[in-house]
Structure 1
Amino acid sequence: MKIKLLTIYVNDQEKALHFYTEVLGFVKKADYSNGPYRWLTVASAEEPEGTELQLALINNPAAATFQQALFQQNQPAVMFFSDNLQADFERMKAAGAEFTMAPTDVQYAWNATVNDTCGNLIQLTQLKRWQG
């Protein structure tokens, strides 16, 4: 069994596509429309055939309530891993990313938090065990 797809709800798919590709550096995998419905996914540029992230339009009231509660509590909706968090932080900041937490040493890792501009906070992590 494999994990091939995860979903994150966004309030604007076009804005999300820009953030996840132009700021985070992911690649667009799928973009199909059927009437008002749009199936939109991205994947890591480092693993383009790996797990996809669906950028789903948040048209479900329960999902919207959950998304807003997480954001208000400063809780990330998802976590992505970096091999060099400081370099990714600097690259993303230069691309216009709004960080709510700069890279911070949290004992076992370095964490940063960025606003995806579509209703979510994203945690970026570099685990110290990955250090050589």
Structure 2
Amino acid sequence: MQAIDDQSTGGIRAMADVYGPNAGVPTAYEAVRRLAGENAVVVFSTSGCCMCTVVKRLLFGLGVGPTVVELDLLPSSSAASDVHAVLFHLSGCGKMSPIPAIFVGGKFLGGIDTLMACHINGSLIPLLKDAGALWL
């Protein structure tokens, strides 16, 4: 899998628009909330993370085209750090990394463990359908 695909480029552009000079200066929380609210599925990832690759492959394999934001490829390391802090707060995961972080239907789903649990127990497909990420 390539480090940057069409979906991750779209996520980077979306974050750049939020943090861009014409967008004012939103907080990282506002940027994450806006991105999650405007897309059916959003994955915050880093390009070299194997668990992030698993999440993206699962979602693409199910026919979902998530908006992927590769934090390490954002134009501003400050923006990436701020977003990472917001995800860390949302995940409430203590000392563990909040990446990958998955939002479905504008709501924070969790990380890979939550996504895999939903997939195994059969609740992932209905969540994706309700969010408008799947039509079948």
What TM-score does the superposition give when structure 2 sets the normalisation length?
Answer: 0.31
More helix by share: 2
Which of the pair has the greater relative contact order for Cα pairs under 8 Å at 6+ separation?
2
Looking at CA atoms only, which structure, 1 or 2, has the larger radius of gyration?
1
More strand by share: 1
What TM-score does the superposition give when structure 1 sets the normalisation length?
Answer: 0.32
